[in-house]
Chain A
Amino acid sequence: MKITQEIKDNTVIMTLDGELDASSSVILDEELSDPEIMKYAKVLVNCQDLNYISSAGLGVFISHLQRFEDAQIKLIFYNMQDKVRNVFEILGLDLLMTIVSDYEEARTIANE
């Protein structure tokens, strides 16, 4: 699992690469807990190379969801592979989280 972060136009773009399992979700949790992130109003998560997400990985997103909402930070996932999207959908997370098809769309929603 590789997690990279870049800041572009007051937006955090986080790229997930690999499998998000129990051990790598700890790293994700650290990245999302970074107080730096709270300085930006938008967090876009590029899931293009995210091949698998375990319940631990989902748990990390869920645990930060409320915090982001409270701080009015927009969390947007994009470029999600079908099988990963399916996992989000089965759990019902697609109704709670913003999951869009590509970067442009994510940008548009973020800027609304």
Chain B
Amino acid sequence: MQLYKNNAKTLLASSAVISWLLLLVYVLLTAESKLAGASAPGIVFPFLSNLLIVVFIVSVFLFQRLHTDMLKGIDFIGYLWNLFSKAGVAAYLSVALYLVYRVYINYAEVEYTLLLHVVYQINFGLLVLFLSKAFYIWRQLLLYHKNKFLQIAWDWFELLLGATLLLTLFNFDYTSYVFLPLLALMSFYILFLCTNLKWVAYLTFNNKSRSLVLLGAILLSCYIFLRFFFNMSANESLVIDFTEVGFLLLAMLFVGAYSLAAFLVSLFSLPTSSVFEQKSEDLLNFQRLSLSIQQGQSEAQVYDMLVESTIKASDASAAWFDIIRNSEPQVTHVLNINEGQIKSIRHMLQAYNIHNMDYINNNLGRNPGFRELAMPWKSMAILPIKSSKHLSGILYLLKDVEGGFDHETVNVLRTFTSQTTLTIENLRLVNESLQNERYKEELKIATQVQESLNPKTFPADSWFEISTHSVAAKEVGGDFYDFLQLSESRIAIIIGDVSGKGISAAFHMAQMKGIFHGLMQQDMAPSEFMKQANSALSRCLERTSFITSSLYIIDYRMQGFMFARAGHCHTLYYNSMMDDVFYFKTDGLGLGIIRDDKRYAAHIREMYYDYNPGDVMVIYTDGIVEARSPENEEYGEDRLQYMLKQTYHLEADDIKYAIINDVNDFTGPDNVYDDQTLLVIKFRPIQQNK
């Protein structure tokens, strides 16, 4: 396609040059023969000259038709400049050429008719160039924002205009009565087309003034050409009078009329263009505001945009913007107003009890309070950025004229503020949901950490059974348990609960387990372990966090266990000898509460207990005893104690299931608010074969 276009352009350019040269030769020859004597008018071939004219015109117009690019963007000034610099200049060139010729004639004092013919022919070429260029550039602008009707109207215009070349070709005189009405109709057609000037509306004030200059220059070009050719047509010696070519006249009419129309429309729309500029800028700013969410802009950037846009939209002479932080206003944007003035205006508004609300005053001078302040402003608008429940900021605009905030302006300003409110709300929602996502992710990690830290299997041994149960609540708590085989006959079991939730609880839990494994390698008594654990934790737990824990060291050979309780739930115990179920109610302070080692030592007790075969020990966290029924009642120690009374004779696993089922019956389904951990240990009779 491009190749075809280039080939066609080359072909058209060469045919234009050849036809023009032939025309020149023909004119010179004819003129020569005319000079030689009127008696020999032998070589006047009007058809030949007309053919050459038509070929030249058609070639140049078609060339320009291919050459003119499609309209790109709305750089109309660029187009006008292009038109002026490439075509309009032709007129000035032709004037210059003619002047040079005249000066030369005056100087030489000889009439060079042949030279005049050359100048005339060159000017004809320039005219056609100018017309074709202008014609197709006007076409682009005329068809800006076209509809189908306009496109068809234009196509017909081009076709009809082209058809007028036939008049020239067959040497009809267009001024004859037959063709005059037709030509008059064409002129009306042209006038109709000249009403399509939509592009002018898109020019800004500055562009319009520049376009006026350019259009004026183009109009001048038209005038120069018209004047030159009509003056020359009076010259008797001319071989061809180009004013007789109807096509050129119509094309000139179109170019001239359209330039004039554009000039006048630009001129008269000049005073209103600032209004349209403002409106289109407002629209753009609205768009920017609503787009700011997608572009991930911050609240501060949104406020920047609001302040900038509203100042422009209202043409305010002074302004400031308050962001409301902890219900205290904080000035973030200031224009032409100082701290003291802001303060005194605020005071006055507070006195009138109109702060923080939508308020427009178009005549501040009538207000005695404001008059006293002696400030240069005469109207004020206060626009809060306020959603149904949240006041995020207040915009203050001041103008030095009365009635500065008319109905229209206020409407635009309110649209801005409500758009901003919406944007800010949306930004907050987006942030919240991101936060939620992050929180969920954190919980997932914490849950994984917690699950991976609790041992999956306990050592199976012949002298005791152990059964464990643990569920994490929706919000991760900090329950944990673990064990460590100290020697062949001794095992340490720890249970605990870290205060707080989420990832920090999971970390403290991991820390506590590290302390357990670290310290118990040295095989120490439970009370000593608690003291050292407290000392270690005091250095890393935050002030509001603490850990409750119980540590048991069971000695199979000694048939007894030692334990210490640090603020953890009391141990439930079934003694088979006495057939009694009870709690070990020992004293013991949670870890991390007192951070003074010596003081803490006074708060920890150690207990030794001999167990009997068949005894049952139930270790648990507060998620069990503080489980709640739908009626908000706590499960409690008593119910747990009762359950063991009913089930102590069962296997450890079955005791565990019985308790868990009872707790679940009590709370109802899906009602786990806290982690629940339960360990049931049952001591077996001594195996003789071991």
Give A contacts to B, CB under 8 Å: 22, 29, 55-56, 58-60, 62-63, 65-66, 83, 87, 90-93, 95-96
Contact = CB atoms under 8 A, between A and B. Distances in A.
A65 B593 CA distance: 9
Contacts of A62: 543-544, 546, 593
13 contacts: A55-B499, A55-B500, A62-B544, A63-B544, A66-B595, A90-B567, A91-B589, A92-B566, A92-B587, A92-B590, A95-B589, A95-B603, A96-B594
A89 B249 CA distance: 111
Given A55-B499, A58-B499, A63 B543 contact: yes
Given A22-B501, A91-B590, A59 B544 contact: yes
B383 interface: no
Contact of A91 (B543, B544, B567, B595): B567
> Which 10 A/B pairs are nearest by Cβ-Cβ distance?
A92-B589, A55-B499, A59-B544, A63-B543, A91-B567, A63-B544, A91-B590, A92-B567, A62-B593, A59-B499
Contacts of B603: 92, 95-96
Given A90-B570, A91-B567, A92-B567, A59 B589 contact: no
A95 B589 CA distance: 8
Interface of B: 497, 499-501, 543-546, 548, 566-570, 587-590, 593-595, 603, 622, 634, 636
B634 A83 contact: yes
Contacts, number: 59
A56 B499 contact: yes
Contacts of A63: 543-544
Contacts of A87: 622
B593 A92 contact: yes
Judged by DSSP, the binding face of A is helix
A92 B604 CA distance: 9
A55 B497 contact: yes
Given A92-B593, A92-B603, A96-B589, A59 B546 contact: yes
Nearest to A62: B593
A37 to B, nearest CB: 17
Nearest to A22: B501
B49 to A, nearest CB: 100
Contact of A96 (B545, B568, B588, B593): B593
Contacts of A66: 595
A83 B638 CA distance: 12
A57 to B, nearest CB: 10
Contact of A55 (B546, B570, B587, B588): B546
Nearest to B596: A66
Contacts of B595: 66
B567 A59 contact: no
Given A83-B634, A92-B590, A95-B603, A60 B569 contact: no
B595 to A, nearest CB: 8
| Most-contacted residue by chain B among A60, A63, A91 (CB, 10 A) | A91
A81 B407 CA distance: 64
B479 to A, nearest CB: 11
| Most-contacted residue by chain B among A22, A63, A66, A92 (CB, 10 A) | A92
A58 B498 CA distance: 12
Contacts of A56: 499-500, 544
Contacts of B594: 96
A1 to B, nearest CB: 15
Nearest to B588: A92
A93 B636 CA distance: 19
B452 to A, nearest CB: 23
Contacts of A92: 566-567, 587-590, 593, 603
A92 B544 CA distance: 16
A6 to B, nearest CB: 24
Given A55-B500, A66-B595, A95-B589, 17 more contacts: A22-B501, A56-B500, A56-B544, A58-B499, A58-B546, A59-B499, A59-B545, A59-B546, A62-B543, A63-B544, A65-B593, A83-B634, A90-B548, A90-B569, A92-B566, A92-B593, A93-B593
A87 B543 CA distance: 19
A95 B587 contact: yes
Contacts of A65: 593
A60 to B, nearest CB: 6
Contacts of B567: 90-92
A83 to B, nearest CB: 6
Nearest to B547: A55
Contacts of B593: 62, 65, 91-93, 96
Given A91-B593, A93-B593, A59 B587 contact: no
A87 B590 CA distance: 12
A18 to B, nearest CB: 12
Nearest to B497: A55
Contacts of A22: 501
Nearest to B586: A92
Contacts of A58: 499, 546
A12 B567 CA distance: 29
Contacts of B548: 90-91
A95 B566 CA distance: 13
A59 B588 contact: no
Contacts of A95: 587, 589, 603
B40 to A, nearest CB: 117
Nearest to B604: A92
A22 to B, nearest CB: 7
B517 to A, nearest CB: 24
Contact of A59 (B497, B500, B570): B500
Contacts of B497: 55
Nearest to B605: A92
Contacts of A83: 634, 636
Contacts of A91: 546, 548, 567, 589-590, 593
A88 to B, nearest CB: 10
A84 B638 CA distance: 15
Contacts of B568: 90
A93 B589 CA distance: 7
A86 to B, nearest CB: 8
Nearest to B590: A91
